[in-house]
Chains A and B, each alone.
Chain A
């Protein structure tokens, strides 16, 4: 794949937006919020806008309905917790801690707010009429689902994700650890706005391993494994070579061609070089999100 083609694809991916209608669960009197959401941005990126739009209804919640922000088993995770780092204490103080936490639902599935919305839709794997109806819940989330806390805008999850990606690419997360907080914030803001031109990326390297998260239909979560950029012959590994064993195990099939891989809403060819797909189609957290399901 040429650099020009990869850049064109990246530009199109970043410009891609999803029409959403966000409505409040069990509150018919709340006016839904319509917006275009960048495919590569997590729902958490619009937390502030959602809280402003539904403020009147959020304030009306009684104490009994107010949730703990996180499911008990996730309550101490720094990935989600607003107390995960003293570095963000100043930003946290700007928020109103009395506001209830939120979580999102699309049809009968919970939508994780910390991964790109486009990836969540690919994982859902159903044709959905536009605008996509997302229901906003105020209340206790299902087990093992983290709600979006009042003082959380998804930034921490983004940075921890970016560090993991950098670690896989370079063998160390130093490239992100040494970034100034303002620069980390700017990266997340660009990602949330779907603005590639203001996304001041990390220095480009030939990745040791390709940061890739795979959702296999029927599994409960995304799988993150160290996918090498090259095969055993030193040639760039194809998507099929890299993801094949994981997909075959999960779907109990003998050939990956019995399954389809989807990235950003389009089918990803199994014979495409994984590192090329990663360069062109990765999200702002440097992960390539691929949803795989068995062909009918």
Chain B
């Protein structure tokens, strides 16, 4: 604790309230089918598992196929976490990147 932490660029101690609307940017990974409209704006209070349900319907995957969702090419968030909170934590460039795959990715 000797060294003083430096402020994150543009960061304030108190986070801004999560946005009411969040722009999601879906990116296919591997052999996952592409979406015609890869961007979608959703209510910030929606839980992340609602995004999963929506995307599964959009892609019309066969029942035998599974869908894997990740944020920012890294992790799967708590499914009950509101999308607005995820955007506040991991959003970039005005959108939250959601990667989807039909096989496991990112460990």
A122 at the interface (CB under 8 A from B): no
Q: A83-B104, A87-B104, A230-B5 are in contact. Are A173 and B74 (CB under 8 A)?
A: yes
Q: Does A225 contact B15, Cβ atoms closer than 8 Å?
A: yes
The number of chain B residues touching the other chain, given as a range, is 35 or more
Rounded to whole Å, the gap between the CB of B41 and the closest CB of chain A is 21
Min CB–CB distance A168 → chain B (angstroms): 6
Contact of A246 among B4, B15, B52 (CB under 8 A): B15
In the assembled complex, which residues on chain B have CB atoms less than 8 Å from the CB atom of A236? 4-5
Q: Is the CB of A221 within 8 A of B1?
A: no
Q: Are A76 and B67 in contact (CB under 8 A)?
A: yes
Chain B contact residues: helix, strand, loop or mixed: loop
Could you say which of A3, A159, A224, A229 contacts B8, with CB atoms under 8 Å apart? A229
Residues of A close to B75: CB separation below 8 A: 159-160, 163-164, 167, 173
Q: Which of B6, B53, B85 contacts A234 (CB 8 A)?
A: B6
> Is A140 on the interface with B (CB-CB < 8 A)?
no
Chain B CB within 8 A of A128 CB:
no
Which of B1, B52, B69 makes the CB contact (< 8 A) with A2? Answer: B1
A226 touches B79 (CB 8 A): no
Nearest Cβ on chain A to B105's Cβ, whole angstroms = 8
Q: Which residues of B contact A6 (CB under 8 A)?
A: 1
For the complex formed, measure the closest distance between the CB of A51 and the CB atoms of chain B, giving whole angstroms.
24
B89's nearest neighbour on chain A, judged by CB, is A226
How far is A274 from B90 in the complex, measured between Cα atoms in Å? 20
Type the 1/0 row for B80-107, where 1 means its CB is closer than 8 Å to any CB of A.
1100010011100000000000011111
A237, B11: Cα distance in complex, Å: 11
The residue of chain B having its C-beta at the shortest distance from the C-beta of A212 within the complex is: B15
Name the A residues within 8 Å of B3 (CB-CB): 206
Asked whether any CB of chain B lies closer than 8 Å to the CB of A78, the reply is: yes
Q: How far apart are A263's CB and chain B's nearest CB, in angstroms?
A: 17
Contact indicator B12/A84 (Cβ below 8 Å): no
A296 to B107, CA, bound (A): 46
Name which residue of chain B comes closest to A87, CB basis.
Answer: B107
Given contacts A3-B1, A163-B75, contact A74 B49 (CB under 8 A): yes
B70: chain A residues within 8 A (beta carbon): 78
B73 to chain A minimum Cβ distance, whole angstroms, is: 8
> Whose C-beta in chain B lies nearest to the C-beta of A241?
B13
Considering the chains assembled together, what is the distance between the CA atoms of A224 and B29 in angstroms? 26
With CB as the reference atom, state the residue of chain B lying closest to A74: B79
Q: Which of A3, A157, A225 contacts B2 (CB 8 A)?
A: A3
Q: For the complex, is B21 an interface residue (Cβ under 8 Å from A)?
A: no
Whether A146 lies near B76 (C-beta < 8 A) is no
Near A by CB (< 8 A), chain B positions 11-67 give 11-15, 17-18, 47-50, 52-53, 56, 66-67
Q: Which residues of A contact B18 (CB under 8 A)?
A: 225
- Is the beta-carbon distance between B13 and A86 smaller than 8 angstroms? no
Of the residues B1, B53, B76, B106, contact of A276 by C-beta under 8 Å: B1
Output the least CB separation between B5 and chain A (Å).
4
Contact flag A208-B88 (CB < 8 Å), given A3-B2, A79-B79, A221-B80 = no
Cβ–Cβ < 8 Å partners of A275 in chain B: 1, 5
- Asked if B66 and A83 sit within 8 Å, CB to CB, the answer is yes
Identify the closest chain B residue to A247 (Cβ): B14
Selected A-B contacts with CB under 8 Å, 6 pairs: A76-B56, A77-B79, A78-B104, A228-B15, A232-B13, A274-B13
Residues of B that sit less than 8 Å from A by CB: 1-8, 11-15, 17-18, 47-50, 52-53, 56, 66-70, 72, 74-81, 85, 88-90, 103-107
* A-B contact sample (12 more), CB < 8 A, given A77-B76, A224-B78, A228-B12: A3-B1, A76-B53, A77-B69, A78-B104, A85-B104, A144-B47, A146-B79, A159-B75, A164-B77, A225-B15, A230-B7, A274-B13
